[in-house]
Amino acid sequence: MILAAVLLAAAIAAAVVRDRRAPEAAVALGGAALLLATGVLSWDDAWDEAGDLAPTLVVLASLLVLGEGCERAGVFDALAARLAAGARGSGPRLLTLVVGAAAAVTAVLGLDATVVLLTPAAFAAAAKARLNARPHVYACAHLANSASLLLPISNLTNLLAFRASELSFARFAALMALPWAVAIAIEWGALRWVFRTTLEAPGRTPKAPIPPLAPAPLAVLAFTLAGFVVAGPLGLDAAWPAALGALLMTAVTVHAAPREVTAPGAPSPRPAASPRVAAARDMARAVDLPLLGFVLGLGLIVRALADHGLADTVSDILPDGHGLLALLGATALAAVLANVLNNVPALLVLLPAAAAAGPETVLAVLIGVNCGPNLTYTGSLATLLWRGALRDRGEEPGHAEFHRLGALTVPPILVACTVALWLVT
């Protein structure tokens, strides 16, 4: 258990530091290999865990491809222009629009899309409207975590919890709709109050024409979501519609790339120079094999940690029953573990005991591991990505401001969302 705990800490540290000399995927997979070599983790258990994680990894990879397709089609550039025009020079109005966009993008494309793709769009929208970007960028970070409650595809943690809960796609969304709406409302209110002075500064309405939204990527997204909804009643794993959506998005993206035109008498270009070949390669790279390897390695390390005592300890601590106090206890425990271990390892540790207690407990734990990480930088990998993106722009937020906003929003969201869940179950 001590060896597994040390290796888990090393993997999380590698994800936080992001040093090229020690990539997080290599550290996590290397740690899993060490556990296998020393017999701490058996090959049978490792194979079972990898099999359990495989469909989740397929869905995660597919979501990355869907997000890349939307980005290449200019969806987020068009969204930034619409946000700036819709704000009409008003900071509060732009904040409301960004919160709405972040909630929608997180729900449909996942929290990584909000952090990696929508955050630059929020910067661009604020610049076009000549408004301070800070409130809107913070909205992207907070909503990436707290607005990821709605759909099984909104977060890696949701994918894991969805399989453990044995709920249908539609039932999962129905139960989490009210907690999702409550979390968004609290985030909007807190951001509006904390940045009230900044938001009062007037801006301007951009005069540049608004680019159109590409219809084909949006149609693929709608088709994929419909596939998720019908997969459950048909007895299909969510990985099937996710993979089909990714293939369709790749086909749409490659088809939209310009053809290579060769002048008469000119030599034919090399295949590698073809824009369509380049587009296909970019879509393949969007799968992000290092990220998938990191998740797999993390899962194997946590499996060893759970098998050697942590699962029993968590099972003893996790409250029993489906009453409000029990659900609040499950949410609080999950939030604490998420900020100590990071949200994905925390969920992996809690899932076996939560699944045995029932789907209500699984969803309460999910509220804790999704919304709790807004309290610290290390609680969620998405928050670390967001912080790195701001650092690259020279806009890294101060620790005091970040933690003050987290302390203001996280406790009421955890309580209110759990109460909302209790009301609908």
**CA gap 374, 50 in Å, rounded:** 29
Question: pTM for the complete prediction?
Answer: 0.83
pLDDT tens digits, residue range 113-150? 898 889 989 999 999 999 999 999 999 999 999 999 99
Position 41 scores a pLDDT of 92
CB atoms within 10 A of CB 326: 18
| Average pLDDT taken over every residue of the chain | 89
pLDDT tens digits, residue range 215-270? 999 999 999 989 988 887 888 888 899 899 999 999 999 988 777 655 555 565 55
Angle between helices 134-146 and 359-371 (to 10 degrees): 160
**CA gap 346, 311 in Å, rounded:** 11
**CA gap 135, 131 in Å, rounded:** 10
Angle between helices 75-87 and 43-72 (to 10 degrees): 60
CB atoms within 10 A of CB 65: 24
* Torsion angles phi and psi, residue 190, rounded to 5: -65, -45
Position 264 scores a pLDDT of 57
Position 13 scores a pLDDT of 84
* Torsion angles phi and psi, residue 155, rounded to 5: -160, 150
pLDDT tens digits, residue range 351-381? 989 999 999 999 999 999 999 999 988 788 7
Position 421 scores a pLDDT of 97
From the list 145, 117, 120, 129, the residue with the least C-alpha distance to 217 is 117
Return the minimum-mean-pLDDT range out of 94-98, 211-215, 273-277, 332-336. 273-277
Sign of CA dihedral 21, 22, 26, 32: positive
> Average pLDDT of 279-289?
88
**CA gap 112, 165 in Å, rounded:** 23
**CA gap 172, 42 in Å, rounded:** 33
DSSP for 354-416, please give it.
HHHH-HHHHHHHHHHHHHGGGGSGGG-HHHHHHHHHHHHTT-PPPHHHHHHHHHHHHHHHHHH
pLDDT tens digits, residue range 3-59? 988 998 898 888 777 778 888 889 999 999 999 999 999 999 999 989 988 888 888
